[in-house]
Each structure stands twice: as structure tokens, then as C-alpha cells.
């Protein structure tokens, strides 16, 4: 009997390729077959590359010595790809074929990685469930009646279902970590400025970051290694040395202090989530870490602050979609303003319009001081909360989401409930610090629970190592949904 290849992790696949135990073509074909088998159920891709497009020419040994050479990866469809449609799951970009690659894509290509396809998301990454996608909802591989989380729901579901070896997503307020938690995989949001945003379609530019969604922590370290680093094409990327992330994975916990923010065990939290996270904390303590309680006193303002700043930035970023230069253009307009109006009315979905209106309002004269300026001030207080907490500890550990995956349709008509589901991830983007979500258990109905580990600016190595230490001593990350 031949070994199944699609369940491999990136580091396992890489090792087998290096040893010549399989070819990249065999691996890509196995994953493409897996996509054919599971896509009708989960709908995690917007675009899957044709077999010949994705299979690299050299069948045998990888063309260079990189760990990524020959590995089939999936990329969220808001990261631009030369010659490959990039839709943001929006009608307005349904026919947009970018003339260039995002920096992260160029870096993956340089290392010989294979692009399998583009994954589904909430339209323009605005949402927590992948339900605002113009091409239909992705389903949670653990329970097809549930959302996979969002907005990188396609990437998370594809990783969980072994429909790719690993994936990239983007995180503006939790969009890598929350779907990772809901799908039982690993998701890392790097420090703001760590990874180039060049070629990431802008939602909220002061919050957006690209990061990996993977089957385990080691894979997250490997992918981050390739995409991290200064890029002159992104003025907000920072010229800070990139350490060897994989070498940082020692699994050593003694001497580490773990802070537990008391405000992050919120009212209305699902009891099984709280229990699983408390158990993980007890486990970390048993394994040598010191646990201390800390406070992030401005936590209660995070949702309001985020939804003013993110919508304000979105309203400005999305002004470019006017039907003139690229993307969808409405038919039948008699003059220019009417063309803009019809294009935007027909091209954007309901949630995107809601955000453009909220953001435009927050920025408008007379309201700017009351909303936008005030939110910027509160953002500073939130960042200072984290600075203060990190004086007492090396990392913070919290739940990633207050509940496990909810049912498709449950929150679509209640935007406030949807926004509140991000309560434990948003502040991290406001502060710009890195965060990772790893699997830490299951609820009574068999849905995965995520543990969030947060670190100081540019200390991805530290959170990766704490996550790794937990992962190496537990088996949650090895569980797979029965699809
Ligand atoms: N769910 C949050 C929102 O809708 C975060 C989205 C994201 O991180 N892209 O804004």
C-alpha cells in the first residue's frame, strides 16, 4: 500500500523530497486529488490551478535547496498573484488579474514553492465567518453546518482538510488566528511591520499583516522565515533582523513567565473554551513556566476602537474601486458619477458597504474628533496596556475566540454579534504585537478550541517556542476531521 501524501506537514514533506522518497509532482498530484475529493463539501478555494500549471517542471529533486522547494501551498485570495485572478471574494474584483506578485509570493516562488490556488475569504477580509464572500461560504471541515471562521476561512479549512500542505492568510483583527482556532490548525499573525504588505489588497493598512496557517508550529516557523523581513516596497515594513525561527524551537519552558490577562475570560464565554484554556495553563505551569495574572484594563474599548479605525481606513482604501482602471464596471450608466455609483452599488456586498458608510461617517467633518481622533487616542492606551503587561511576563496566553465555530447563518443578520466574536483578537492588531493560535482541545460537539499566545513586538520566536513546547507535549494538532 502506498503512503498517503496529502496529510503531510510541510517539514515532513520537505524531508521526504530532500531524501528523494517522493517527487514534488507526486505530492502536488496527491494534494490536487484531495482537493477534488473534499472541495464539494468545504468550498475552501476560489481558484484552483490546473494540474499542469501547478506541477513544477522538474519532477525529481527540488530545483534548489530550500525547505519549501516543490511544496504545494494555498494563498488567500486578497494577496495578488501575477497572471492569476485575485478577487478578494468580491464581485468588484471578479475579473481582476494582477500584473505583479505580492512580495510574499515572490519570496515563496524564489524558494521554489508551488502555488496550488487561491482561497476563499470574507469579501475584502471583512468578517469572521467567510459568509460575506461573494462566491459562497466555506464550511468547517469538522462540521459542515458550521462556519470555518474568517476572514481567512478558506486557508484554515484547506489546511485542516489537507487540501494544501500549508497556506497564507491575512489578519487585520483576528483573521488568521480565529479561523485557525475554529478549524483546529496553527495560525500566526506576525508583528506589524514584520512581513511586507506589498501586494496585500489593503483593508485597514495600519492593522493588516500576512501570516502562515499550518498543520503544526514548526511549519509556521518555516513559512514565517521565508516571508519575514524588510521590503523597500512597503514603507511600513521594518528593517529588523530576522532570527532563525526553527532554531528557536527548543521546547524549553522553564524560566518563562506566562501572563494571563484577567479581562480575557469574558462573560458569555463558552465554558468548554475556558476549561480547555485553564487546563493548558496548568499544563504549562507543570512543565516549568511561571503563571502570573496581569491586567489589560482598556480591553473593553477594543471592539469599538477597532471598528472605528478599521472602517475609517477601509472607506479610504476602497475608494479606488470605481470602475475606471480595473475590476468590475456597471453597464448602462449615462455619465461618470452614475457609473461610479452603479459600479459600487453592484460591485460591493452588504458588509463592505456597511463598513464604507461607518468609516466615512467617522472621518467626516464634525465627527472626526469625536470618533476617529478619539479612537486613535484609545489605541495608544491599548498598546500601553500590553507594554505594561509585558513588563511582568514573556508571553500572554488567552483563548483565541470566546466560543467554538458557530453555525452558518447564525450571526449574519446581527453584525454586532459578529463583531463581538473578535473580542479576544482585535486588540492585538491595535497594539501591533504578534500572536499565534494553536489547537488546545475540543468542545462536547467535537469542534476545535484555540489557545492564543501573544508576545512583545518582533518576538515571534518566543511565542513560536511556547506554542511548540505545548504542542510537543500534546496531541491536539494531530487530530484530523473525518471528511
Ligand atoms: N473579523 C474582523 C473584521 O471583520 C477581522 C477581520 C480581519 O482580520 N481581516 O474586521
pLDDT digits (tens, 9 = 90+) for 280-308: 999 999 999 999 999 999 999 999 999 99
Containing structural domain, residue 130: 10-255
Residue 331 has pLDDT above 60, yes or no: yes
Query: Do 202 and 317 meet the contact criterion of CB atoms below 8 Å apart?
Result: yes
Check residue 371 and report its DSSP letter.
I
Per the structure, the count of domains in the chain is 1
pLDDT reported for residue 61: 45
pLDDT reported for residue 51: 57
pLDDT digits (tens, 9 = 90+) for 254-271: 999 999 999 999 788 999
What is the average pLDDT value for the chain, to the nearest integer? 95
Q: Ligand 1 centre and the CA of 171: distance in Å?
A: 7
Q: Ligand 1 centre and the CA of 120: distance in Å?
A: 14
Ligand 1 atom index nearest CA of 127: 4
pLDDT reported for residue 50: 77
The pLDDT of 199-217, averaged and rounded, is 98
Residue to probe by mutation, ligand 1, list 89, 119, 121, 122, most atoms within 8 Å of CB:
122
The pLDDT of 110-117, averaged and rounded, is 97
Residue 310 covered by a domain: no
Which residues does ligand 1 sit against, CB inside 6 Å? 125-128, 151, 171-175, 203, 310, 422
Ligand 1 atom index nearest CA of 422: 1
Residue 271 covered by a domain: no
Residue 59 has pLDDT above 80, yes or no: no
Q: Ligand 1 centre and the CA of 344: distance in Å?
A: 21
Residue 441 covered by a domain: no
Local confidence band at 60 (pLDDT 50, 70, 90 cut-offs):
very low
Residue 226 covered by a domain: yes
Question: What is the CA 188 to chain-centroid distance, rounded?
Answer: 7
Residue 225 covered by a domain: yes
Residue 389 covered by a domain: no
Q: Ligand 1 centre and the CA of 67: distance in Å?
A: 31
445 has catalytic annotation: no
Residue 17 covered by a domain: yes
Residue 63 has pLDDT above 90, yes or no: no
pLDDT reported for residue 3: 86
Ligand 1 atom index nearest CA of 307: 10
44 has catalytic annotation: no
Cα(335)–Cα(153) distance, integer angstroms: 39
- How far CA 454 is from CA of 208, 350, 368, 393, in Å, comes to 17, 33, 32, 11
Q: Ligand 1 centre and the CA of 102: distance in Å?
A: 21
Residue 193 has pLDDT above 60, yes or no: yes
Element (H, E) at 281: helix 271-286
pTM above 0.95, yes or no: yes
Cα(261)–Cα(471) distance, integer angstroms: 22
What is the residue-wise DSSP string for 148-167?
A: --SSSHHHHHHHHTTSSSEE
Element (H, E) at 372: none
**H-assigned helices in 152-260:** 153-160, 177-183, 217-227
Residue 315 covered by a domain: no
Ligand 1 atom index nearest CA of 172: 8
pLDDT digits (tens, 9 = 90+) for 176-189: 999 999 999 999 99
Q: Ligand 1 centre and the CA of 151: distance in Å?
A: 6
151 has catalytic annotation: yes
More confident residue, 251 or 53: 251
Residue to probe by mutation, ligand 1, list 174, 208, 317, 405, most atoms within 8 Å of CB:
174
pLDDT reported for residue 57: 45
Ligand 1 atom index nearest CA of 429: 8
Residue 127 has pLDDT above 70, yes or no: yes
Cα(480)–Cα(253) distance, integer angstroms: 27
Nearest CA to ligand 1 atom 5: 173
pLDDT reported for residue 55: 46
Residue to probe by mutation, ligand 1, list 90, 131, 175, 176, most atoms within 8 Å of CB:
175
Query: Which entry of 24, 76, 128, 315 is annotated as an active-site residue?
Result: 76
pLDDT reported for residue 267: 82
CATH number of domain containing 77: 3.90.1300.10
pLDDT reported for residue 65: 67
Amino acid at each position: 500500500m502506498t503512503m498517503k501524501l496529502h496529510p503531510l506537514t510541510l517539514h515532513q514533506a520537505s524531508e521526504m523530497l530532500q531524501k528523494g522518497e517522493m517527487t514534488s509532482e507526486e505530492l502536488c498530484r496527491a494534494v490536487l486529488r484531495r482537493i477534488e475529493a473534499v472541495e464539494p463539501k468545504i468550498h475552501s478555494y476560489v481558484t484552483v490551478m490546473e494540474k499542469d500549471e501547478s506541477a513544477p517542471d522538474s519532477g525529481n529533486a527540488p530545483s534548489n535547496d530550500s525547505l519549501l522547494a516543490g511544496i504545494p501551498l494555498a494563498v488567500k485570495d486578497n494577496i495578488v498573484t501575477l497572471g492569476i485572478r485575485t478577487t478578494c471574494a468580491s464581485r468588484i474584483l471578479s475579473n481582476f488579474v494582477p500584473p505583479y506578485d505580492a512580495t510574499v509570493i515572490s519570496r515563496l516562488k524564489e524558494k521554489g514553492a508551488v502555488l496550488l490556488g487561491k482561497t476563499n475569504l470574507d469579501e475584502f477580509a471583512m468578517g469572521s465567518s467567510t459568509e460575506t464572500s461573494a462566491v459562497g461560504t466555506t464550511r468547517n471541515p469538522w462540521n459542515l453546518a458550521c462556519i470555518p471562521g474568517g476572514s481567512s476561512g478558506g486557508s484554515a479549512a484547506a489546511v485542516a482538510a489537507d487540501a494544501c500542505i500549508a497556506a497564507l492568510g491575512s489578519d487585520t483583527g483576528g483573521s488568521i488566528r480565529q479561523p485557525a482556532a475554529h478549524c483546529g490548525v496553527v495560525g500566526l499573525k506576525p508583528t506589524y511591520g514584520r512581513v511586507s504588505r506589498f501586494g496585500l489588497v489593503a483593508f485597514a493598512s495600519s492593522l493588516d499583516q500576512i501570516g502562515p496557517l499550518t498543520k503544526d508550529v514548526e511549519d509556521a516557523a518555516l513559512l514565517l522565515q521565508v516571508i519575514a523581513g524588510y521590503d523597500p516596497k512597503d514603507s511600513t515594513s521594518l528593517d529588523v533582523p530576522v532570527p532563525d525561527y526553527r532554531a528557536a524551537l527548543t521546547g524549553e519552558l522553564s524560566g518563562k513567565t506566562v501572563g494571563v490577562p484577567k479581562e480575557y475570560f469574558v462573560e458569555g464565554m463558552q465554558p468548554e473554551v475556558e476549561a480547555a484554556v485553564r487546563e493548558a495553563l496548568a499544563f504549562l505551569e507543570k512543565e516549568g513556566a511561571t503563571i502570573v495574572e496581569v491586567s489589560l484594563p482598556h480591553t473593553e474599548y477594543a471592539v469599538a476602537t477597532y471598528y472605528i479605525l478599521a472602517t475609517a481606513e477601509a472607506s479610504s482604501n476602497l475608494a479606488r474601486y470605481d470602475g475606471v482602471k480595473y475590476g468590475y464596471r456597471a453597464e448602462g450608466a449615462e455619465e461618470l458619477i452614475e457609473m461610479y455609483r452603479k459600479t459600487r452599488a453592484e460591485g460591493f456586498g452588504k458588509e463592505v458597504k456597511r463598513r464604507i458608510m461607518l468609516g466615512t461617517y467617522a472621518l467626516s467633518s464634525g465627527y472626526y474628533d469625536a470618533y476617529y481622533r478619539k479612537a486613535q487616542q484609545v489605541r495608544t492606551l491599548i498598546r500601553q496596556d500590553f507594554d505594561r503587561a509585558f513588563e511582568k511576563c514573556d508571553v500572554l496566553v488567552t483563548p483565541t475566540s470566546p466560543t467554538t465555530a458557530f453555525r452558518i447563518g447564525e450571526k449574519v443578520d446581527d453584525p454586532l454579534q459578529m463583531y463581538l466574536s473578535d473580542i479576544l483578537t482585535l486588540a492585538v492588531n491595535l497594539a501591533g504585537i504578534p500572536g499565534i493560535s494553536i489547537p488546545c482541545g475540543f468542545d462536547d460537539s467535537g469542534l476545535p478550541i484555540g489557545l492564543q499566545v501573544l508576545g512583545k513586538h518582533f518576538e515571534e520566536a518566543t511565542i513560536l517556542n511556547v506554542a511548540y513546547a505545548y504542542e510537543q507535549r500534546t496531541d491536539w494538532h494531530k487530530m484530523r476531521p473525518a471528511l
